[in-house]
Chains A and B, each alone.
Chain A
Amino acid sequence: MANNITLQVTRYRPEQDAEPTVQEYEVPLRKDWAVLDGLNYIKDHQDGTLSYRWSCRMGICGSCGMTVNGEPKLTCATFLTDYEPGPVRVEPLGNFPLIRDLVVEIGDFLRKLPKVKPWIVRGEDASVPEGEYLQTPAQMDEYMQFSMCINCMLCYAACPVYGLDPDFIGPAAIALAQRYNLDSRDKGAADRLEVLIHPDGIWGCTFVGECTRACPKDVDPAGAIQRYKLTAAMQSIKALLLPRGAR
């Protein structure tokens, strides 16, 4: 194993650069070092001006998403040794405006997310003496996979539809809507319907499937979207054929 590996890191300093440039850094190549450790080494020992987001280092917080050798990745879960002998290209997440170096502007996602009401909607809460809302393991299984989403936005970076049409509500928002739609305790499916069946909702998706491949938590947003398309189509057929009371 070589002692060092080269990181080719995107730099963008809006006060001086018209567009991003690439800067090379040599960092120690250690078996247990992820790309994020390499970036932290640069920040601590070589160049304190490098900007990037990170927090937990363990694939939970979803803040260190970047493009590594062209693929959207969590840099804390992407090991340098997998890219030996290098160089490793580290770029900001695609499809988002770039603020500085590797930091992208995520306001668009944060504005879209609450539109699908990603929380349990009850209408009227049960009183405390009535106890918890119970659920069987089978009922939990229905939505468990979608609840693994950590809002890292790798799926948005991987989705060409979002790249071409930024109004598309996007894979994670739809997967999270499904996470609550499929929850037996939730009564908010009707509230989410309008946002999801909007032309910028599920029908924007053309099933490229890259969101599912990019997802570091195996959420399968593409599956969530296709399932909801079927649900929405059935709703439309019911609305067309059945009298109001029977829907």
Chain B
Amino acid sequence: MSAPPAYTQYHPRWYRTPVRTLWWLRRRSYLLFILRELSSVFVAWFVVFLLLLVHAVSRGNNEYQRFLHWASNPWVLLVNVVALAFVALHAVTWFDLTPKAIVVRLRGKRVPSAWIAGSSYLAWAAVSALVTWLVLGG
């Protein structure tokens, strides 16, 4: 006769795979997700930058000139270039999300995703053009 089977206890010992610190490098979509989460820090940085600008303007020309001088520091420029890239990523991923969230039906048919995302980009371009006109030409 063969040996009796080794019975397990009623409650099995579950194994939980630990999450590795660099799990987000495993897949492009995970990396993009982490970069998008990180972009919120740079969005916040732009808000702070804008508030500093408004504060400087409110305190007269001298303070404004001092702000401009500080803002032309190479490291501030570098931070702003990186921040711009992250904010662009933030905006693009946001607009690409819109067709998932908004479902429009025209004459019973669902409007294609490209139209909804496209109209968001158009609105973005229109607002940007308006702001540019206000700042430079208005």
Quick check: is A140 within 8 A (CB to CB) of the other chain?
Answer: no
B102: chain A residues within 8 A (beta carbon): 227, 230
Residues of chain A at the chain B interface (Cβ within 8 Å): 12, 14-16, 19-20, 70, 94, 97-100, 105, 138, 160, 163-164, 206-210, 213, 220, 222-223, 226-227, 229-230
Quick check: is B13 within 8 A (CB to CB) of the other chain?
Answer: yes
Quick check: is B49 within 8 A (CB to CB) of the other chain?
Answer: no
A-B Cβ contacts below 8 A, count: 61
Q: List 7 contacting pairs A-B, 8 Å CB cutoff, sorted by A.
A: A15-B13, A98-B14, A160-B30, A160-B33, A208-B30, A226-B100, A227-B103
A207: chain B residues within 8 A (beta carbon): 93, 97, 100
CB distance from A1 to the nearest CB of B (A): 30
Contact status of A94 and B17, CB under 8 A, knowing A14-B12, A206-B37: yes
Q: Please tell me which one of the listed residues B8, B29, B33 contacts residue A14 in the complex, with CB atoms under 8 A apart.
A: B8
Quick check: is B136 within 8 A (CB to CB) of the other chain?
Answer: no
Closest to B13 in A: A14
CA distance A163 to B36 in the complex (A): 18
CA distance A138 to B6 in the complex (A): 58
Can you list the 3 inter-chain pairs with the closest CB atoms, starting with the nearest?
A: A97-B14, A14-B13, A226-B101
Contact status of A15 and B6, CB under 8 A, knowing A97-B14, A207-B97, A227-B103: yes
B103: chain A residues within 8 A (beta carbon): 227
